[in-house]
Amino acid sequence: MLSRAALRTWAAPSSRLFSSSSPRLTKVAVLGAGGGIGQPLSLLLKSDPLVTSLSLYDIRGAPGVAADVSHVDTASEVIGYSADHLDQALEGAKVIVIPAGVPRKPGMTRDDLFNTNASIVRDLAAAVARVAPTACILVISNPVNSTVPIVAATLEKAGVFDPARLFGVTTLDVVRAARFLAGLSSANPADTAVTVIGGHSGATIVPLLSQASHGKSVQGEAYEKLVHRIQFGGDEVVQAKEGAGSATLSMAYAGAKFANLVLRGLNGEKGVMTPTFVKSPLFADQGVDFFSSNVELGVNGVEKIHPIGELSAEEEKLLAACLPELKKNIEKGKAFVA
């Protein structure tokens, strides 16, 4: 535990990344704060007025990141914790964001990360179960389709699993879909929001372009290309970084955006809705009991899971391809903990 800064000045939020109502005392912990995602994510959370205390943990480098980020002139307090101080990092946390684990290299799928990341996520979840069992947990570590069931099963084993408080962060798929659709239709991404359902890897990512105002007009080859780009956009970044990792900056943006939505819900704001990967009844009868769809966020986390709505014939096909793969990924996660 090295750096501590309680800053007195208040800087008003200016970007559309964050929207805030009146802030409450909210401690947010980032596990994996020293990494490619963790560092910019910590910076963005430092800028979020709904975060009053920021707890940065990593097995290496977190105190340095905390010392650096703590100089930003927003009101929140920042503390960095090194390897032996996980429990202290988690104490009193209301929201815990987990980007700990290894990222992909060119040629790898997210599932290739399973062997390394499964145990990292399981061990962190066990600590959360012990120290902060009522916190909302936001899982970024891949493969999300499996790591979220791993966290759920670990919490269940400890007798503290609350499905309303566990989220797989699929916001980057939503961010990419809006950006890519805007590029095609010469619109502002603020006007091209796309609901993305399913999971967070390749064919399990199902963008519902037919439900997006600018999406309906994208047809034929352009449609196929757009869907492929949304599903495999992460590969563009992995290839461009030539072995140095996967999306970190856009992921940090997406993670901070999602954390802000969760915090707004916890603070009692009404009508906060976004797609996220949660324990879901929508396809549970087909053995897919975790699924991303539009979720309303509230004071207890998940307030309401919305149905997927009407799909086009193409989207029905995408969903049919998604479900069996997602089922395998979920089962693999559960089996790891069992």
Annotated ligand binding at 32? The verdict is yes
Q: Which of 141, 154, 280, 292 binds ligand NAI (CB under 6 A)?
A: 141
The structure tokens 């140095």 sit at 244
Burial code (b: 16+ CB inside 10 Å, e: under 16) for 197-210 equals: bbbbbbbbbbbbbb
DSSP letter string, 275-313: EEEEEEEEEGGGTEEEEEEEEEEETTEEEEEPP-----H
Which residue, 78 or 169, has its beta carbon nearer to ligand NAI?
169
| Residue closest to ligand NAI when measured from CB atoms | 35
Q: What are phi and psi of 12, to 5 degrees?
A: -70, 145
Which residue, 169 or 272, has its beta carbon nearer to ligand NAI?
169
Q: Which of 66, 136, 166, 172 binds ligand NAI (CB under 6 A)?
A: 172
Say which amino acid occupies 72: V
Q: Which of 74, 211, 246, 294 binds ligand NAI (CB under 6 A)?
A: 246
Interaction residues for ligand NAI, span 93-132 (CB under 6 A):
99-104, 113, 117, 120, 124
Bridge-partner residues for 196, per DSSP?
Answer: 207
Which residue, 173 or 289, has its beta carbon nearer to ligand NAI?
173
Q: What CA–CA distance (Å, rounded) separates 42 from 55?
A: 9
Contact status, residue 296 vs residue 338, Cβ threshold 8 Å: no
Hey, which bits of the chain come out as E strands? Answer: 4-5, 27-31, 53-57, 77-81, 95-98, 136-139, 166-168, 196-198, 205-207, 272-283, 288-298, 301-305
Q: CB of 226: closest distance to ligand NAI in angstroms?
A: 19
Interaction residues for ligand NAI, span 269-288 (CB under 6 A):
none
Q: Please give the DSSP secondary-structure letter assigned to residue 178.
A: H
What is the set of active-site residues? 200
Contact pattern from residue 45 through residue 84 relative to ligand NAI, giving x for each residue in contact according to CB under 6 A and a dash for the rest: -------------xxx------------------------
Nearest to 295 by CA among 163, 187, 185: 163
Contact pattern from residue 208 through residue 227 relative to ligand NAI, giving x for each residue in contact according to CB under 6 A and a dash for the rest: --------------------
Task: Kindly tell me the burial class for residue 227, based on how many C-beta atoms sit within 10 Å of its own C-beta (0-12, 13-18, 19 or more).
Answer: buried
CB atoms within 10 A of CB 268: 12
Q: Which of 54, 69, 169, 330 binds ligand NAI (CB under 6 A)?
A: 169
Annotated ligand binding at 294? The verdict is no
Interaction residues for ligand NAI, span 305-324 (CB under 6 A):
none
Instruction: Please report whether residue 202 would count as binding ligand NAI according to CB under 6 A.
Output: no
Task: Give the annotated binding-site residues.
Answer: 32-38, 58, 104, 110, 117, 140-142, 176, 251
Task: Give the annotated binding-site residues for NAD(+).
Answer: 32-38, 58, 117, 140-142, 251
Which residues of the chain form contacts with ligand NAI (CB under 6 A)? 31-32, 34-38, 58-60, 99-104, 113, 117, 120, 124, 140-142, 144, 169, 172, 200, 245-248, 251
